[in-house]
């Protein structure tokens, strides 16, 4: 059985001291911590070797939380049982998605995303921004390109925020994917929602008051509707004005989350497509605000990212 060891600020000896002092003063060097774990370390009074250990970072974007694992080179990567075990909020670490960083010849890195239930997703906007921040720090650059299942995504630092181009929305019903040819802005479902693909499927439900919706009841019903053969993420929204939208999210494979980046892109697209908002909008999610700009070269999303801790999973 896997055992989860949380980092203990006072319990690390030797060369790690400097790192943790830096942490205390807010200067971050996340990969330094991973190197420490990789080489085996004395943590929280336990001496263990690097064998069967999986170093990871915990990060979040607006409370949409992630375990981030660096699988580049010959570093260890989790199997599916480990992904599910880590995702358990009571018996494991807990996350909305696990982001696995891999080598890629044509970009700065490839990222794969896994939901809490172990299913893989082609897109995760907030985790993409988190990984972009990590790698920009590592490469000492303010721009880079990440590959996800949907292609190459340019990322940039904008002050304290991270921006990613999530690409153009998928509007072809078969590619979203839907199970049949229907009007994507009036789906034959309750509330006539819109369908948008952002490398993953979304169902955008326009309601009077997103805060009043019973998302834990309606979310899973829509997630599993046969119209979406690969299930769907669900966004409940109401438009506040032409530049502001309120959004709550039920995520495929993860349930209620405090924010969903690809979902925010889908919301910006669906709402502009209906003529309700401009192409530049601020979206108010439970965990904070994202800024969306649907340009000719794709949907750009800007928002904050945060580090929570680093630790080692023992298998
Ligand atoms: N939180 C994400 C979306 C994660 C993937 C989703 N649950 C799916 O299965 O498609 C985001 O920020 O985009």
Domains delineated in the chain: 3-166+304-314 (3.10.310.10), 194-296 (3.10.310.10)
Rounded distance, CA 269 to CA 165, Å?
14
Pocket test of ligand 1: the residue of 251, 263, 264, 287 to mutate, having most ligand atoms within 8 Å of its CB, is 251
Structure confidence at residue 51 (pLDDT): 58
CB of 247 shorter than 6 A to ligand 1: no
Q: Which of the listed ranges 12-26, 49-63, 224-238 does the model predict with the highest average pLDDT?
A: 224-238
> How many Å lie between the centroid of ligand 1 and the Cα of residue 262?
6
Q: Which of 6-10, 90-94, 176-180 has the lowest mean pLDDT?
A: 6-10
List, for residues 59-91, the tens digit of each pLDDT value: 999 999 999 999 999 999 999 999 999 999 999
126 is in an annotated binding site: yes
Instruction: Report the pLDDT averaged over residues 158-177.
Output: 98
Q: Is 8 a catalytic residue?
A: no
List, for residues 100-154, the tens digit of each pLDDT value: 999 999 999 999 999 999 999 999 999 999 999 999 999 999 999 999 998 999 9
Q: Considering only CA atoms, which of 253, 172, 171, 248 is closest in space to residue 215?
A: 248
Rg (CA), the chain: 20
Mean pLDDT for the chain?
87
The residue nearest atom 4 of ligand 1, judged by CA position, is 124
Structure confidence at residue 32 (pLDDT): 43
Rounded distance, CA 187 to CA 81, Å?
36
Q: Is 265 a catalytic residue?
A: no
| pTM as predicted | 0.86
CB of 262 shorter than 6 A to ligand 1: yes
> How many Å lie between the centroid of ligand 1 and the Cα of residue 274?
23
168 is in an annotated binding site: no
Structure confidence at residue 27 (pLDDT): 32
Q: Which of 17-31, 47-61, 65-79, 82-96 has the lowest mean pLDDT?
A: 17-31
CB of 194 shorter than 6 A to ligand 1: no
Pocket test of ligand 1: the residue of 60, 83, 121 to mutate, having most ligand atoms within 8 Å of its CB, is 121
Region class of 63: left (phi > 0), else alpha (psi between -120 and 50), else beta: left
> How many Å lie between the centroid of ligand 1 and the Cα of residue 46?
36
Bridging pattern class, strands 143-148 and 109-115: parallel
| ipTM score over 0.95, yes or no | yes
pLDDT: which is higher, 311 or 22: 311
Structure confidence at residue 28 (pLDDT): 41
Q: Considering only CA atoms, which of 270, 287, 288, 208 is closest in space to residue 234?
A: 270
Longest CA–CA span in the chain (Å) reads 63
CB of 233 shorter than 6 A to ligand 1: yes
Structure confidence at residue 302 (pLDDT): 99
Judged against a pLDDT cut of 80, whether residue 163 lies above it is answered with yes
Rounded distance, CA 104 to CA 151, Å?
12
Q: Considering only CA atoms, which of 269, 208, 271, 196 is closest in space to residue 234?
A: 196
Indicate which residue of 130, 155, 203, 260 is catalytic.
260
Q: Considering only CA atoms, which of 109, 169, 159, 130 is closest in space to residue 300?
A: 169
CB of 254 shorter than 6 A to ligand 1: yes
> How many Å lie between the centroid of ligand 1 and the Cα of residue 128?
10
35 is in an annotated binding site: no
What DSSP state is assigned to residue 211? G
Judged against a pLDDT cut of 80, whether residue 222 lies above it is answered with yes
Q: Considering only CA atoms, which of 307, 177, 186, 154 is closest in space to residue 252?
A: 177
Q: Alpha carbon of 227 to those of 183, 197, 233: distances in Å?
A: 12, 14, 13
């Amino acid at each position: 059985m896997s055992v989860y060891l949380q980092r203990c600020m006072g319990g690390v000896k030797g060369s790690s001291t400097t790192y943790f002092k830096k942490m205390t003063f807010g200067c971050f060097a996340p990969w330094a911590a991973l190197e420490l774990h990789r080489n085996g370390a004395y943590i929280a009074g336990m001496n263990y070797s690097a064998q069967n250990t999986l170093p990871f970072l915990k990060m979040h974007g607006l409370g949409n939380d992630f375990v981030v694992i660096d699988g580049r080179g010959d570093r260890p990567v989790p199997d599916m049982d480990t992904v599910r075990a880590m995702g358990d909020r009571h018996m494991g670490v807990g996350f909305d998605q696990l982001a696995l960083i891999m080598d890629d010849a044509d970009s700065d890195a490839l990222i794969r995303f896994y939901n809490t239930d172990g299913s893989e997703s082609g897109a995760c906007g907030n985790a993409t921004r988190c990984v972009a921040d990590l790698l920009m720090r590592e490469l000492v650059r303010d721009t880079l390109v990440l590959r996800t299942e949907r292609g190459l995504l340019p990322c940039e630092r904008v002050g304290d925020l991270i921006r990613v181009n999530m690409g153009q929305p998928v509007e072809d019903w078969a590619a979203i994917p839907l199970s049949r040819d229907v009007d994507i802005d009036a789906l034959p479902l309750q509330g006539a929602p819109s369908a948008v693909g952002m490398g993953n499927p979304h169902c955008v439900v326009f309601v009077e008051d997103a805060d009043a919706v019973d998302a834990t009841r309606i979310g899973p019903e829509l997630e599993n509707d046969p119209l979406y053969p690969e299930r769907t993420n669900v966004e409940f929204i109401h438009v506040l004005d032409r530049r502001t939208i309120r959004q709550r999210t039920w995520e495929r494979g993860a349930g209620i989350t405090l924010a969903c980046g690809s979902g925010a892109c889908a919301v910006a697209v669906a709402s502009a497509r209906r003529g309700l908002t401009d192409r530049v909008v601020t979206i108010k999610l439970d965990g904070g605000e994202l800024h969306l700009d649907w340009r000719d070269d794709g949907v750009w999303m800007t928002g904050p990212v945060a580090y929570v801790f680093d630790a080692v999973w023992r298998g």
